[in-house]
């Protein structure tokens, strides 16, 4: 038996036969042609077919992993029709008088290399996307229909890496788990695995010789057992049975309070990215929504969403939550979330650049449109508004002045609005250090642990080379959370956590003991966290 260790993407156990997944990367031959018009026509038809395939993939992904995670396929469809990409392919066909497959392959390689060499992490990530769409078009041109989704039996997929499209196309009923050699734990594919609830490991040195062998994947320890013996299989089958029973028992917690053994109540909310995600929130019995990522309303359109479309989205969520709190984060565009129509300049370090509240306070027309929609929707439910990327008291005061002016406009127009709490994200060390001053200006804090961790440790959380030293449990991060809680409470401000760390079950009890008032997590984590909370005794 061979035992290997990698990085776990999702906790869980998988037992089954290995399928070594190898992409059909047949060499694309350069073929001279006299009829360049015919080749361009072949390419145009293949491009149209690629867009149709990606649109179907998007629909499938929405059903399986939600609108937010499916958005990557909309991005791919747009990239297929990108002007520069299209022009390059047509130009190569015309000037070099070559076949369409070769022109697409060369363009894909050139663009992928160009993106990979950029300093900007957002554009670096686009290198894999360009490669993915180019392979799709080449497969269509060459008539290759083997997309890797025809799984004959339940298997553990082992691959060098997987594109998001490959992951979604696989039959979920037959995909037991997957193991990759490359890919970050924060990649699109990793996020999809967590959303689809599929155990997965990355960072494992893989081998073709494993194909057909029986393996055990232990997502709790990040271990893969190749050619596992009967004793090992029996041991992990027992663990699997325990996991199934645990999930069934969790259903009994629906309708129960989020309260410790000695009576301390915690608000246990859920994070969402779209109106459709509300169904999952209700199904998992969350007490409210602690983070509605409103930027996805902007990322899903080709132009700025108007007041009415935003109002409808916020109103629908508020009504569906039937009086439960809904905390909407205002526009957090920039960094790794880009919308072309914003026309943002290229930045060497976008994570620390022109983003989120910095855009809103400069482009107040966009900001006021969103605030009008939010305040109007607040008349139909329990909406709170939260502002991201705060670093100063002056920013908060400016925000409050703008909110006040928007309320005055609505009053003058005779448009009703509710009594909304105003809060801020604590996701920069600067905000932590002045949290005693900020707490005097707002009703609540929500700690964004993803950005707070990367800024505190000076580690890019998207960089897989740094995965081994990216430590969200670092004492500095935990001390900052504790400081924020203490300063918030000192000035009557309640404090929550809405980052990934909120769902870290190893820290749930620590957060409760720190005095955290609220945890907002992915809907599927609500019941597991509830179970822990209900077993905590504060003595």
Q: Would 20 be classed as within a structural domain? A: no
Better-scored residue on pLDDT, 286 or 173: 286
Question: Is 363 a member of any domain?
Answer: yes
Asked if residue 200 is part of any domain, the answer here is no
Look at strands 267-272 and 518-521 and give their pairing. parallel
Handedness of CA 108, 113, 114, 119 (dihedral sign): positive
Task: Identify which has the larger pLDDT, 221 or 424.
Answer: 424
Number of domains in the chain: 2
472 secondary structure, DSSP code: T
User: Given pLDDT bands bounded at 50, 70 and 90, which one contains residue 464?
Assistant: low
Which of 186, 207, 189, 206 lies closest to 198, judged by CA? 189
Q: What is the CATH number of the domain that holds 508?
A: 3.20.20.60
CATH code for the domain of 136: 1.10.274.10
What are 68-105's pLDDT values in tens digits?
Answer: 667 777 878 888 988 889 999 999 999 899 999 999 99
Q: Provide the 10 A C-beta neighbour count for residue 478.
A: 17
Final residue in a domain of this structure, among 91, 107, 141:
141
Active site residue 346: no
Residue of 188, 474, 489, 493 with catalytic role: 188
Task: Give the residue carrying structure tokens 């430590």.
Answer: 471
Position 472 scores a pLDDT of 86
Among 141, 166, 201, the domain boundary falls at 141
The band of 147, judged by pLDDT with boundaries at 50, 70 and 90, is very low
Is-contact 17 156, C-beta < 8 A? yes
- Which of 101, 121, 141 terminates a domain? The answer is 141
360 catalytic per annotation: no
Task: Kindly provide the residue ranges of all beta strands, DSSP E only, lying in 131-197, ordered along the sequence.
Answer: 155-159, 175-180
In a domain, 511, yes or no: yes
- Give the pair of three-digit tokens for residue 316: 């629908």
Residue 403: Cβ within 10 Å count: 19
> How does 315-339 read in b/e, with b if 16+ C-beta sit within 10 Å?
bbbbebbeebbbbbbbbbbbbebbb
Rg (CA), the chain: 25
Is residue 275 located within the same domain as residue 407?
yes
Residue span of the structural domain in which 285 resides: 256-533
Does residue 352 lie within any of the structural domains?
yes
Note whether residue 280 is domain-resident: yes
**H helices of 458-507, where?**
475-490
Residue 164's pLDDT is what?
65
DSSP structure string for 407-439: HHHHHHTT-------EEEEE-SHHHHHTHHHHT
Give pLDDT tens digits for 159-213: 887 766 677 667 777 888 888 887 666 565 666 666 667 888 888 888 888 888 9
Pick the closest to residue 202 from 214, 188, 210, 212 (CA basis). Answer: 188
pLDDT band at 312 (very low <50, low <70, confident <90, very high): very high
Instruction: Exactly one of 76, 360, 493, 498 is catalytic; name it.
Output: 498
10 belongs to a structural domain: no
Domain assignment of residue 73, yes or no: yes
My answer on whether 129 and 274 are in the same domain is: no
Burial class (CB in 10 A: 0-12, 13-18, 19+), 268: buried
């Amino acid at each position: 038996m061979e035992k290997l260790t990698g990085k776990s993407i999702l906790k869980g156990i998988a037992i089954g036969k290995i399928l070594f997944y190898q992409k059909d990367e047949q060499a694309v031959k350069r073929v001279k042609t006299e009829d360049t018009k015919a080749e361009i026509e072949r390419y145009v038809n293949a491009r149209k077919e690629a867009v149709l395939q990606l649109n179907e993939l998007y629909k499938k992904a929405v059903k399986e992993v939600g609108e937010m995670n499916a958005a990557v396929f909309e991005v791919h469809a747009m990239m297929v029709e990108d002007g520069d990409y299209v022009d390059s392919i047509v130009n190569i066909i015309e000037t070099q008088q070559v076949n369409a497959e070769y022109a697409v392959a060369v363009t894909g390689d050139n663009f992928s290399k160009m993106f990979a060499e950029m300093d900007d992490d957002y554009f670096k990530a686009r290198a894999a996307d360009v490669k993915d769409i180019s392979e799709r078009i080449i497969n269509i041109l060459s008539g290759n229909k083997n997309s890797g989704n025809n799984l004959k039996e339940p298997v553990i997929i082992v691959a060098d890496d997987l594109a998001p499209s490959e992951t979604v196309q696989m039959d979920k009923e037959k995909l037991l788990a997957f193991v990759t050699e490359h890919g970050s734990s924060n990649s699109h594919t990793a996020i999809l695995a967590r959303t689809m609830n599929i155990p997965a490991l990355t960072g494992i040195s893989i081998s073709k010789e494993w194909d057909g062998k029986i393996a055990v994947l232990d997502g709790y320890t990040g271990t893969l057992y190749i050619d596992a013996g009967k004793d090992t299989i029996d041991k992990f089958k027992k663990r699997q049975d325990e996991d199934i029973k645990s999930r069934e028992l969790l259903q009994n917690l629906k309708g129960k309070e989020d309260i410790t053994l000695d009576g301390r109540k915690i608000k246990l909310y859920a994070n969402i990215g779209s109106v459709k995600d509300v169904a999952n929130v209700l199904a998992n019995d969350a007490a409210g929504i602690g983070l509605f990522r409103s930027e996805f309303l902007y990322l899903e359109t080709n132009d700025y969403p108007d007041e009415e479309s935003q109002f409808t989205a916020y109103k629908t969520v508020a009504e569906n939550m039937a009086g439960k709190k809904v905390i909407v984060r205002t526009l957090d565009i920039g960094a790794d979330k880009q919308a072309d129509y914003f026309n943002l300049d290229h930045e060497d370090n976008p994570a620390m650049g022109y983003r989120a509240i910095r855009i809103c306070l400069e482009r107040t027309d966009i900001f006021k449109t969103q605030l009008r929609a939010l305040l109007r929707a607040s008349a139909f439910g329990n909406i709170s508004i939260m502002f991201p990327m705060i670093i100063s008291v002056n920013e908060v005061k400016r925000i409050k002045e703008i909110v006040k002016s928007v309320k005055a406009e609505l009053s003058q127009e005779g448009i009703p609005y509710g009594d909304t709490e105003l809060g801020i994200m604590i996701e920069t060390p600067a905000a932590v250090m002045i949290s005693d001053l900020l707490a005097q200006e707002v009703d609540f804090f929500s700690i964004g642990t993803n950005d707070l961790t990367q800024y505190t440790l000076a580690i890019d959380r998207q960089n897989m080379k740094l995965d081994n030293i990216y430590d969200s449990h670092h004492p500095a991060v935990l001390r900052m959370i504790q400081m924020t809680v203490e300063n918030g409470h000192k000035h009557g401000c309640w404090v929550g956590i809405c980052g990934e760390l909120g769902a870290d079950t190893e820290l749930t009890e620590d957060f409760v003991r720190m005095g955290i008032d609220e945890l907002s997590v992915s809907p599927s984590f609500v019941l597991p966290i509830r179970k822990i909370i209900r077993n905590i005794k504060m003595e």
